[in-house]
Amino acid sequence: MHKIFIDGSAGTTGLRLEERLRERRDITLLTLSEALRKDSQARAQMLNEADAAMLCLPDAAAREAAALVRNPKTVVIDASTAHRTAPGWAYGFPELGAAFRENMTRSRRVAVPGCHASGFIALARPLLQANILSGDALLHCVSVTGYTGGGKAMIAAYESEDRDDALRVPRQYAQEQAHKHLREMTAIAGLSAPPVFCPIVADYPRGIELTIPLHAAQAGASPREILDCYRAAYRDAAAIKVFPEIAAMPPLACHDALHVTVAGNEERLLLVARLDNLGKGASGAAIQCLNLAIGAEETEGLQI
């Protein structure tokens, strides 16, 4: 029986994680009373008692919590942005290859990927690895997401009975091109420059559809060749599925899987990824990281 502590269980991701992990028979959840939830000494005790400590905190708090872990046997799995490109931390995306998977299983520090970043990296990295795209490619992408990705405040705003009518219209955000996922999107994909990123939040709860548009001259490959590249890259992937066309892809209820495909024609292409921002984009990815860290079946507790 593995002892798991969720630090930050009151947040959106933490609540979903706790709900899902309570169903597991191979896990015991360590908990703190409401009175002790913010007590640093009590938290430190739980963090070091756990076989795996799962951080669902803002970046600064996640850094502080990670520093509290002194037990060399405790695996820290951080769902924040704080450590995704930090030295000494494994990036929790095993589908990217044997080196990523091995690093995750050996490391005591694992960073859970960001939701938008997961879609972008899943589309871009295989093409760079296959030299279909070059590392200096100047890419851009559009990502439409449900409002639950914005956390409690955004959820409350969208689900309020007297909400602002402006929320009914999809709206761009992070127009200043400083979105917190850009660093990992660039580094993990293998790009020398960040993409131009246009995230859009829309009036539905869950699901991301992310698109990287390309001119064929940028790619140097046909839609069929790119699709074959994805099929080869994700042949053995537990949580990534490649579809022959957009029409064949299920709706945005992807649960804990990430779906990819290619659309367009011989001149202009659309690389498309779909995922659940609360599934493979958050709690599902965290559970996948946990499974690999504790030696459980990779898909245990996941809905693929």
How far apart (Å, rounded) are the C-alpha atoms in residues 179 and 72?
Answer: 33
Same domain, 223 and 138: yes
Nearest-5° angle of CA 74, CA 32, CA 44?
A: 40
**Would you mind telling me the total number of residues written for the chain in this entry?**
304
User: Taking phi first (over 0 means left), then psi (-120 to 50 degrees means alpha), and beta for anything else, what does residue 177 get?
Assistant: left
List the 52-55 sheet strands across, edge first: 27-30, 2-7, 52-55, 75-78, 109-111, 90-91
**The domain spanning residue 94 has which CATH number?**
3.40.50.720
Structural domain of 119: 115-277
Same domain, 223 and 262: yes
User: What confidence tens digit (pLDDT) does each residue in 269-290 have?
Assistant: 999 999 999 999 999 999 999 9
How far apart (Å, rounded) are the C-alpha atoms in residues 173 and 153?
Answer: 15
Same domain, 220 and 272: yes
Same domain, 146 and 192: yes
User: What confidence tens digit (pLDDT) does each residue in 93-110 have?
Assistant: 999 999 999 999 999 999
Q: Alpha helices of 2-76 — where are they, by DSSP H? A: 12-21, 40-49, 59-68
The count of structural domains within the chain is 2
Residue 220 pLDDT class (50, 70, 90 cuts): confident
| pLDDT of 10 over the 80 cut | no
Same domain, 104 and 119: no
Is 301 contained in some domain? no
DSSP for 79-141, please give it.
-SSTTTT-TT-EES-GGG-HHHHHHHHH-SEEEPPPHHHHHHHHHHHHHHHTTSS-TT---EE
Same domain, 62 and 126: no
Lookup: tokens for 183: 């660093």
| pLDDT of 47 over the 90 cut | yes
Same domain, 240 and 99: no
| pLDDT of 149 over the 90 cut | no
Is 300 contained in some domain? no
Is 299 contained in some domain? no
Least confident segment among 22-31, 201-210, 246-255:
246-255
Same domain, 126 and 180: yes
Is 265 contained in some domain? yes
Per-chain mean pLDDT for the chain: 93
Same domain, 151 and 269: yes
- Please provide the distance, in angstroms rounded to a whole number, between the alpha carbons at the two ends of the chain: 24
Q: Reduced to 3 states, what is the DSSP secondary structure of residue 51? A: coil
User: Which pLDDT score, from 0 to 100, does residue 209 have?
Assistant: 96
Is 303 contained in some domain? no
Is 37 contained in some domain? yes
Q: Alpha helices of 139-181 — where are they, by DSSP H? A: 151-159
Lookup: tokens for 100: 């990523």
Least confident segment among 76-90, 124-138, 252-266, 282-296:
252-266
Q: Reduced to 3 states, what is the DSSP secondary structure of residue 196? A: strand
H/E run at residue 29:
strand 27-30
Q: What's the rounded mean pLDDT across residues 236-240?
A: 94
CA 154, chain centre distance (Å): 19
Same domain, 165 and 88: no
Q: List residues with catalytic annotation.
A: 115
Is 266 contained in some domain? yes
Q: What pTM was estimated for this model as a whole?
A: 0.95
Q: What's the rounded mean pLDDT across residues 12-40?
A: 88
Same domain, 25 and 60: yes
Per cent of the chain over pLDDT 70 is 100
Same domain, 265 and 248: yes
